[in-house]
Structure 1
């Protein structure tokens, strides 16, 4: 806790006996019960727990943003002594954005796509401070510089879609801080961000808090982030606050089984050791006791013919003039990459958003056409396969399972659909196989009659895995397949993938920006930057002895579940990933690689990394 927080006499936010209920079938059901908390100026309180624990509902209650017709708030919420429960809508409009502000999880859905970022930051200044547009523009420039947006004066008139995810989140922070609120609520502000951008945002919030003395209510399910930023921690479980206290004390000696389970489920860099992938330890969330995890044997097929061979693969997308339709420039999304993958092996592809990871996966699945290079599966060129043949050899698991499933199909029909499309089974046998596949991924066959909305996020991802297995592919591309999941569910899904790999000898291309998960699941790692592989090698070699400056930068940004490091400033470079858009006449430079160890290759870098 900062000095400001320690000397403050009365809390900025005080909640007493908060009970929040939602109406369902004419009856109000409580989703948050008996919540009490205080946050002082300059202090950060983290509310942690898995999806459905009541974290975001608490934040929305403070903002009075829950729907009046279907929700009921009881108890007391005081902001600097003023009672918010029962406040009129007009009074809350005066308070929101002025005395309390909120940063939401997904900045793209929170920003107006038809207004420039400068106009959106100025909006609250004009509304709450009554200043002119010219004065507001000067203040906007200062705010954009404060949140470290490069070339702020030039970018003020850009639109949200012209910013990266990390820069959009900085815009959201600038909007939230515009009127210097006493309380800042951050609801999962870094969950969907790359590890380097996440580290920059966390450092930015800490720096601005130190400068302004703002009280921060930080909502997350990532205990590593909690350790990085929180003075005190409140743990919630199914709507009930079960443990609260100093963050260091909670990490050192958690009292409740659920808190111990949350901490045990956090993957730590360096915990995987040498050798192949290792399952995550699974903890019973009710008792906090570890559950048995089967030991893995060596799954890699060491025969001469690899499952997958990628050679000098490139993908470029043309940008044409809207008037002449002539090519103006190109996106060099993937440039001259080469790698192999054996049966039963996992190759992790890591890097920041925009580096070409997902495009590589789509190239392998035949969803995009390569500009040049070759892809061979079991020695046969992909271009020689029909689309149906390729689908039976390569399947993808996407990041958002809800968007990947048809809401109008039962999960049984969703899993059976590929079998029917390819004429491999009759409708009756396809549904039976679908129920068997549900059992393979740890769900019961009886669940097949349900629809996607009736499952949790982790269960939906298991359904997507079952559908991917329906055609018995040898290669599965998992594109950020566990990024949006709670830590305990993430551990279960990763362990399921490892179990299926061992039994079915599956090859995985695991695309992720979560370095701690990558260390657990992969045999080898390839690090991508601006469409190129800058370092590749055995997982233990890359993590224990990174050579390329970009790999070192990625690893240094990973949040560690150690609250004693909270006040350490890491001095991360405040820069965006460079644009992969090049002039249409651009010729990619020839790259050289050196061997740093057995199978460990590193791109020779130039002055830009000096």
Structure 2
């Protein structure tokens, strides 16, 4: 089916598309059969136009981009249809000629720059290689051009960083290096495959601004692959929605957002949290869920107040400090320390969600691990369900951990691939000698049902489940010991937007029925606004602002809180021309010298319970 039909008019005539995809189908060999994963996709990308392909994991969007680039393995994949780049057909092009097209006329940025960059070569040499392969250019000219590109993608001190290696760059700066490499030969088309998904919200904002600005300066066309509708609204002229290998809807981005017809499109849009939509509402709010088949919205029960006011907090943290020593020199003497968490204080009540927010490296995950003593804190006081955590011996610490459990970001990494999910869920119950094997099996079956899975699945293994299902399994396992506090460490960050909405709703349901207290660690401000009672903003190991969710979001006081909120993509296509002009500075290092003495911090109370660090 032909989904585009660009009618861009310049000088009174129709402009030929830079990229034209006609009836593209891609199949993979599974055993003796071919399984089609992209079916009959057709679209055009006009000069200087940005077209977004949006859909969740498994929709076929990345396979579409890899098919266009012909980067799929020849023996196990089959590409049918036609792909024209400025009138030149690519599918039937000999491999040697296709190699000259890649990186020259068409370039690609991938989701994870660290796997795309060679760790043993300096970044300057890697970008220069992209130039020397496609052009006849001297080493001196290549170096001058690389420095120009590094400055163009806003890498500070480009000359000084030319000989540095990928591991010496932050995630956002590595992605800038990848963009510089993709732009080296001035391509006509840039394919950006989830280039901001793994980045913090402020870095994501910088990269989106950068791509928009470079597109204007270089006159490129962009094919943007993503599952984030907020990002789509900010970058795309037109949008193609993919679902299970089919393009189910296409059109101008404004039409897709305001007049989307397909139930899947509406389901994607309904699951996107909008920053500022909560207003003065004090309680968390479930995400709306739309049935993909019928397009009808499911009726969700209103969240009621479960916070045990006036009681002793279930978790009380005072001046928590965690530092990691740095040793250097021949004798390995202590030369400094990473001040990961510095004098952090907060409390958490039964039935309450306190969210810790901030960028990577701010100390929020270290705070969660320090509270559970997965990391031993340097100093401070932590009282959890009556246990003085810092003073516990190994036996009592094991007993205390029945009261607190963690849900990690990547459930696949936290589940044993050789253990059936039934055994994985039952294991904590058995290890703590809480009952017989039959009792553990019955309880595990009940919890799997509670998190929306079937007890019949207990014999399956982790690889047989989707990412969202694996996270539900991790939640069921965390509940096996009847904990009072759950530390959810970026528990929904890696999930697709609709799965994220379902898991957040599940956590709210469990909080309602079991009166659980959540320490919700995240960098996603829009999700945090939806699920929290209170919010604490962390920067360089310190809490810079803390208070009721409505107070912090409606009246942010600290400059860093304002910066985080300004960076959140807004799912509104009318904002597409807006640039945030965000600072490209990297987050400061928490490494301090041996003799460093942290300053004594003062806080002022803006309103009841709303505290802000005084500069």
TM-score, normalised to structure 1, is 0.97
Partner of 1:534: 544
* 2:315 aligned with 1:305: no
Partner of 2:287: 280
**Shift of the alpha carbon at 1:428?**
3.4
Asked if 1 retains the 8 angstrom alpha-carbon contact of 2:106 and 2:189, the reply is yes
CA distance in structure 1 between the partners assigned to 2:147 and 2:253 by the alignment: 36
1:441-462: CA deviations, max 9, x gaps? 1100001111111111110100
User: Which of 404, 408, 431 matches 1:394?
Assistant: 404
Asked if 2 retains the 8 angstrom alpha-carbon contact of 1:537 and 1:600, the reply is yes
User: Which of 112, 123, 129 matches 2:129?
Assistant: 123
Partner of 2:483: 473
1:462-513: CA deviations, max 9, x gaps? 0010111111111111111111111111110000001111111111110111
**Shift of the alpha carbon at 1:322?**
4.8
User: Which of 163, 175, 180 matches 2:181?
Assistant: 175
CA distance in structure 1 between the partners assigned to 2:170 and 2:598 by the alignment: 24
Unaligned stretches of 5+ residues in structure 1 = 606-610
Partner of 1:608: none
Partner of 1:506: 516
Aligned 1:378-393 pairs, distance under 5 A = 378-385=385-392, 386-393=396-403
Alignment CA distance shift 1:378-1:6 (3 Å): farther
Asked if 2 retains the 8 angstrom alpha-carbon contact of 1:305 and 1:378, the reply is no
Partner of 1:347: 354
CA distance in structure 1 between the partners assigned to 2:62 and 2:42 by the alignment: 15
SS in 1 for 2:82: strand
SS in 1 for 2:173: helix
User: Which of 201, 225, 232 matches 1:195?
Assistant: 201
User: Which of 84, 99, 102 matches 1:96?
Assistant: 102
**Shift of the alpha carbon at 1:133?**
2.6
Alignment CA distance shift 1:8-1:418 (3 Å): farther
**Shift of the alpha carbon at 1:4?**
8.1
**Shift of the alpha carbon at 1:8?**
7.3
CA distance in structure 1 between the partners assigned to 2:30 and 2:402 by the alignment: 44
Unaligned stretches of 5+ residues in structure 2 = 1-6
CA distance in structure 1 between the partners assigned to 2:403 and 2:13 by the alignment: 64
CA distance in structure 1 between the partners assigned to 2:572 and 2:297 by the alignment: 21
SS in 2 for 1:242: strand
Asked if 2 retains the 8 angstrom alpha-carbon contact of 1:223 and 1:266, the reply is yes
1:7-39: CA deviations, max 9, x gaps? 872111110011111111211121111100110
SS in 2 for 1:283: coil
* 2:337 aligned with 1:330: yes
Asked if 2 retains the 8 angstrom alpha-carbon contact of 1:4 and 1:213, the reply is no
User: Which of 501, 515, 532 matches 1:491?
Assistant: 501
Aligned-residue Cα RMSD (Å) equals: 1.6
Asked if 2 retains the 8 angstrom alpha-carbon contact of 1:318 and 1:327, the reply is yes
Partner of 1:218: 224
* 2:595 aligned with 1:590: no
**Shift of the alpha carbon at 1:143?**
0.9
SS in 2 for 1:282: coil
Asked if 2 retains the 8 angstrom alpha-carbon contact of 1:351 and 1:357, the reply is yes
Alignment CA distance shift 1:4-1:483 (3 Å): farther
Alignment CA distance shift 1:211-1:375 (3 Å): same
1:311-346: CA deviations, max 9, x gaps? 011111111115220011111111111000001100
CA distance in structure 2 between the partners assigned to 1:37 and 1:602 by the alignment: 51
CA distance in structure 2 between the partners assigned to 1:156 and 1:527 by the alignment: 35
Alignment CA distance shift 1:5-1:349 (3 Å): farther
Asked if 1 retains the 8 angstrom alpha-carbon contact of 2:389 and 2:397, the reply is no
SS in 2 for 1:290: coil
Asked if 1 retains the 8 angstrom alpha-carbon contact of 2:387 and 2:400, the reply is no
Alignment CA distance shift 1:4-1:116 (3 Å): farther
SS in 2 for 1:90: helix
SS in 2 for 1:510: strand
Partner of 2:380: 373
Alignment CA distance shift 1:567-1:8 (3 Å): farther
CA distance in structure 2 between the partners assigned to 1:51 and 1:171 by the alignment: 26
**Shift of the alpha carbon at 1:415?**
0.8
Partner of 2:3: none
Partner of 2:321: 314
Query: More deviation in 200-209 or 179-188?
Result: 179-188
Partner of 2:86: 80
Partner of 2:4: none
**Shift of the alpha carbon at 1:40?**
1.5
User: Which of 567, 570, 573 matches 2:583?
Assistant: 573
**Shift of the alpha carbon at 1:391?**
2.1
SS in 1 for 2:530: helix
CA distance in structure 2 between the partners assigned to 1:36 and 1:6 by the alignment: 25
Partner of 1:245: 251
